[in-house]
């Protein structure tokens, strides 16, 4: 199989993904989608943005094409490029072009990580032109009516270089994601990890303790994702203290003192 060819059929989500709404994000996304407005998901890592996109793609019955952006990602990676195969040059659409042509949902995760030149292709897609300039082909492709652009961004990592420009952000309907309420987070941990309610409650308490340390030695507290990881280890028979250390503490810090402090917090609970 040619790994560069994206078969959008393969990107349909057939089974309903488990997603607990935390507010009116489902209704807002649906309204934005129906009005062809692009959506910006803001929030820390591991708080449900990807799961939400999977859920919305399932709900709207559209394929979901996700691109994890990184600092080497260029406009060509998104749009496509000429490839030479057996002496022949062929054009291969990138994931964004595929989504634009076939009416898929394109989710660009951590958009600020991508190179600046990616904005050149995103801007005309993210306003009412809904066009994709394909410079190398000299084409301007109009997006399928069912196409949707969604991007995510973590405002927590504040740096001038990693900030979204106003000219970009003011094109999107913005949905803020944060950690679910304690009751909801407990439910998510029970459902996703298969632990009992009492264990989930302790994990959520532990997460809150680490989140309170954000800014005083920790860049970020434990995310819902990490609680699910720890819960899965516990459900598999690992001692809770060990699960908290390996799935949570070691994942959020390398600092020896901070590690000891975080571990002390978990031993106060388990
Ligand atoms: P993000 O994309 O924000 O980094 P994810 O969507 O990957 O985070 O969420 C991480 C994990 O946390 C998911 O795989 C899921 O187990 C759990 N999760 C977080 N929020 C929710 C939610 N609202 N409903 C269901 N599961 C959730």
Residue 230 structure tokens: 């720890």
Q: How many CB atoms lie within 10 A of CB 60?
A: 16
Q: Are 166 and 55 in contact (CB under 8 A)?
A: no
pLDDT digits (tens, 9 = 90+) for 84-116: 988 999 999 999 999 999 999 999 999 999 998
Residue 10, pLDDT score: 72
Q: Are 94 and 67 in contact (CB under 8 A)?
A: no
Reported confidence tier of residue 215, pLDDT bands at 50, 70, 90: confident
Residue-wise DSSP of 176-243: E--PPPHHHHHHHHHHHH---HHHHHHHHHHHHHHHHTBTTTBSS---HHHHHHHHHHHHTT--HHHH
Task: Say if ligand 1 is within 6 A of residue 163 CB.
Answer: no
Residue 161, pLDDT score: 60
Task: Say if ligand 1 is within 6 A of residue 16 CB.
Answer: no
Tokens 């995103």 appear where?
A: 122
Confidence check: pLDDT of 159 > 80: no
Q: Whose CA is nearest to atom 27 of ligand 1?
A: 48
Dist. CA 224 → ligand 1 center (Å): 6
Higher pLDDT, 99 or 9: 99
Average pLDDT over residues 69-91: 93
Beta-bridge partner residues of 93: 80
> CA-CA distance, 150 to 64, in Å (whole number)?
10
Residue 263, pLDDT score: 95
Confidence check: pLDDT of 158 > 80: no
> CA-CA distance, 168 to 163, in Å (whole number)?
10
Sequence-separated (6 or more) residues with CB below 8 Å from residue 89? 82, 83
Average pLDDT over residues 11-24: 96
Q: What percentage of the chain carries pLDDT values higher than 90?
A: 87
Residue 256, pLDDT score: 95
Task: Say if ligand 1 is within 6 A of residue 8 CB.
Answer: no
Q: Whose CA is nearest to atom 8 of ligand 1?
A: 46
pTM above 0.80, yes or no: yes
> CA-CA distance, 168 to 173, in Å (whole number)?
11
Dist. CA 142 → ligand 1 center (Å): 33
Task: Say if ligand 1 is within 6 A of residue 175 CB.
Answer: no
């Amino acid at each position: 199989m040619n790994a560069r060819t994206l078969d959008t059929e393969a990107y349909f989500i057939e089974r309903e993904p488990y997603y607990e709404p935390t507010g009116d994000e489902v209704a807002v996304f649906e309204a934005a989608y129906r009005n062809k407005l692009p959506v910006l998901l803001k929030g820390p890592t591991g708080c449900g943005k990807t799961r939400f996109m999977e859920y919305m793609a399932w709900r709207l019955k559209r394929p979901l094409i996700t691109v994890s952006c990184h600092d080497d990602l260029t406009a060509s990676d998104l749009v496509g490029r000429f490839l030479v195969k057996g002496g022949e040059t062929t054009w291969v659409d990138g994931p964004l072009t595929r989504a634009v042509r076939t009416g898929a949902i394109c989710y660009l995760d951590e958009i600020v990580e991508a190179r600046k030149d990616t904005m050149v292709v995103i801007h005309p897609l993210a306003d009412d032109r809904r066009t994709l300039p394909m410079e190398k082909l000299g084409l301007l492709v109009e997006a399928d009516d069912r196409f949707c652009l969604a991007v995510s961004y973590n405002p927590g990592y504040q740096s001038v270089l990693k900030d979204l420009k106003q000219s970009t952000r003011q094109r999107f309907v913005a949905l803020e994601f944060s950690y679910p309420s304690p009751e909801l987070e407990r439910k998510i941990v029970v459902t996703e990890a298969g632990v009992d309610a009492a264990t989930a409650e302790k994990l959520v308490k532990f997460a809150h303790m680490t989140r309170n340390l954000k800014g005083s030695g920790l860049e970020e507290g434990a995310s819902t994702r990490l609680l699910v990881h720890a819960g899965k280890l516990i459900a598999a028979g690992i001692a809770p203290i060990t699960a908290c250390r390996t799935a949570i503490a070691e994942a959020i810090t390398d600092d020896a003192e901070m590690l000891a402090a975080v571990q002390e917090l978990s031993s106060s609970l388990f």
